[in-house]
Amino acid sequence: MKKVISVLMCAALAACSIFAMAGCTKQNELKSDIVLITDGGHINDDGYNQSAWEGISQFADENVMSCRYYQPVLDENGDLTVENIDKYVSLAADNGAQYIVLPGEDFAVPAFELAGAYPDVKFILLDAIPHAENDNTHAYLSNVMSVKFDALQSGVLAGYIAAASGHTELGYFGEFDSESSANYGAGFVQGAAMVADSKGIPVTVDWAEYDSAILDYDYNFTVTACYEKIEDTNDKVFNVKVENGVGTGTYKEGSNVTITANPAPLGKEFDKWEVKSDTKGVKDKKVNISSSTKSSMNLLVEECDCTITAVYKDIEGDVVTLTTMDTDGKTPYLEQSVAENSQCDIKAPVAPTSMVFDHWECTVADAVEDETSAQTKVNITSQDITVTPVYAISSTPTFNVTVATGEGGNGESTGSGSYLAEDLVEISAAVPAEGYMFSHWSNEDAYGHSTGISMENEYCMVTSFEMVDRYASLCEAMYNHGATMIFNGGNSKADSAMTAKWGFDYDLGVIAAGEKNKDAYSTIIKNFGEAAKDCLAEYKGGSVFVADCSNNGIYASFVPEDEEIKAEYDKLYETLANDKATLIMVEGGAGSEFCRRFVENKLSKCLTLNAWFDDEVVIELD
């Protein structure tokens, strides 16, 4: 047992977390038999924390035991660290906790690393099995009882509800090389087949795994700068000429145009903008720019042609050269002069395909403020300095964006590259060819569908947008193919199905799994509270408790109101609870093996299974 935690540490913890209405001024007030450490959320989150707490509270009341919860504060990245969790485990153990309940996969590594240090405490790990960091090999520890929720039975309930509700075109959105995902999908197919075969109704299920290497699906997309002929517009148009900068073109009256100065020549820095009206009778001061001293500013196009010129001045004092290298690490991307003993912003070029920015290398030690940030500052001393961006293969999915120049453009539009979801993508259209003017930006994926991005201003030549989770496009393809209900169980990208759903204006549905989802047609709930009660009642360290229909470990949040459907659902639930259903389980990996077995053995008379990663199945995505 670790030494008793000090009252001062207790007070510090109390300042940054919630101790179930208990203060830290009196040590005996912290005594509890059972402690829940939440994942950082509150016990009223209508999710796993609340479910676990309700089960623990009920068990404690029924068995005359005391209980409380600790709500840790997450780190700056929104994560639970082992060190942080250890503080709360230590506090609980030092105050007599017999049981500590940990909800979810976030606690799998902490349980593996901490359980041995507290041999007298009985840990209950819900919906996870302990494992080392960067190693998913399960560890069965003598004082940790794990809970696993039955994915196969969950899928059966989802499939039954989908087909019984009248949906005959279904989709399963899975994850490759995941036994849990494969069993969610296998159950979904079998549950839907039960309805199809018993009622003689044809049902189709499209099965796709978003990250499967054998799924030939293109998540990348193209953003195109579109132009129109000046002679084809009925609007008033005006000519803008930008010297030493970007923004030259013909624009409609009222357009808001971003004007940006070119990088300053060596030895100089940007000074100001000079503006000149090129329309007789309109004074220069009528040219409406947002700032004359910022190197990037906006022009409101009004009743005149104009010329806007970027003016540079000599840098005062001694200067050095700051060179930012390109993605290849060999070619200069940007060279600029900077005053000695000053500070300058740097930004890495867009990452090459399937890579992400990793860190900066610099010819002057410690000059870069944050070496792991693609956009940071560099401290300039009295010597020339070169900063080189280093890129790495991304462990998080990246999506490639191609920025193209449409007909009527003259040159290359910029912004093409590899991006993560939530990255800010900055794009700039090529200068219009003679007789053309910029019109707008368009976007589409490889199948001609909209990509779901939202631009800051799609009518501006220089604009930006936030990179979206492109996995939603796979679910969109399912909907376009005819699916009206998609099941996303066992999928770490489950929210992608919900994103896809909102992109359509007709009635489509998603069946979710895990936490209750108010936007889903139904959710196959993981009942953390019931599982926690069962483990507390019959604790067995080193074992895995399977939560399923037999112990109310899973259930559907919504079953259609129709009496016949409800009666059939109850009958199915009872059959699963009594282990009387003959089900095919997937062991050891991806759902492709299940799909092939299901099709080859013709395991359903009325259900057709389309495995999108199977060469024999042709899906028209466009």
What confidence score (pLDDT) does residue 617 get?
Answer: 52
Whole-structure pTM value? 0.78
Mean pLDDT of the chain: 90
Decide if pLDDT at 19 tops 60. Answer: no
Q: Residue with structure tokens 């039960």? A: 194
The count of C-alpha atoms lying within 13 angstroms of the C-alpha of 256, restricted to the half-sphere facing its C-beta, is 9
Distance, in Å, from the CA atom of 597 to the CA atom of 592, rounded to the nearest integer, reads 9
Sequential DSSP letters for 476-510:
HHHHHTT-SEEE-TT-TTTHHHHHHHTT-SS--EE
What confidence score (pLDDT) does residue 28 get?
Answer: 46
- Indicate the pLDDT class of residue 13, thresholds 50, 70 and 90: very low
Max distance between CA atoms of the chain, in angstroms, equals 91
Nearest to 380 by CA among 356, 394, 393, 362: 362
**What are 235-282's pLDDT values in tens digits?**
999 999 999 999 898 999 998 899 999 999 999 999 999 999 999 999
- Indicate the pLDDT class of residue 27, thresholds 50, 70 and 90: very low
Query: Which tops the pLDDT comparison, 124 or 452?
Result: 124
Distance, in Å, from the CA atom of 52 to the CA atom of 70, rounded to the nearest integer, reads 13
Decide if pLDDT at 217 tops 80. Answer: yes
The phi and psi torsions of 157 (rounded to 5 degrees) equal: -60, -40
Q: What distances in angstroms separate CA 574 from CA 153, 157, 547, one per listed residue?
A: 11, 11, 15
Nearest to 556 by CA among 545, 569, 547: 569
What confidence score (pLDDT) does residue 244 get?
Answer: 97
Distance, in Å, from the CA atom of 184 to the CA atom of 489, rounded to the nearest integer, reads 6
Decide if pLDDT at 49 tops 80. Answer: yes
Instruction: Give the residue-averaged pLDDT of 125-132.
Output: 96
Sequential DSSP letters for 573-589:
HHHHHTT-S--PPP-SS
Q: Are 326 and 387 in contact (CB under 8 A)?
A: no
Residues 6+ apart with CB under 8 A from 223: 401, 402, 403, 404, 415, 427, 441, 442, 443, 453
Q: Are 241 and 278 in contact (CB under 8 A)?
A: yes
DSSP 286: G
Residues 6+ apart with CB under 8 A from 115: 121, 123, 130, 141, 143, 144
Instruction: Give the residue-averaged pLDDT of 411-423.
Output: 91
Decide if pLDDT at 384 tops 60. Answer: yes
Decide if pLDDT at 92 tops 90. Answer: yes
Distance, in Å, from the CA atom of 399 to the CA atom of 391, rounded to the nearest integer, reads 15
What confidence score (pLDDT) does residue 222 get?
Answer: 96
Query: Which tops the pLDDT comparison, 1 or 315?
Result: 315
Nearest to 417 by CA among 474, 353, 473, 368: 353
Distance, in Å, from the CA atom of 538 to the CA atom of 124, rounded to the nearest integer, reads 11
Q: What distances in angstroms separate CA 50 from CA 38, 46, 105, 144, one per listed residue?
A: 9, 6, 16, 21
**What are 421-461's pLDDT values in tens digits?**
889 999 999 999 999 999 999 999 988 887 878 999 898 89
**What are 279-298's pLDDT values in tens digits?**
999 999 999 999 999 999 99
- Indicate the pLDDT class of residue 15, thresholds 50, 70 and 90: very low
The phi and psi torsions of 310 (rounded to 5 degrees) equal: -80, 125
Decide if pLDDT at 230 tops 50. Answer: yes
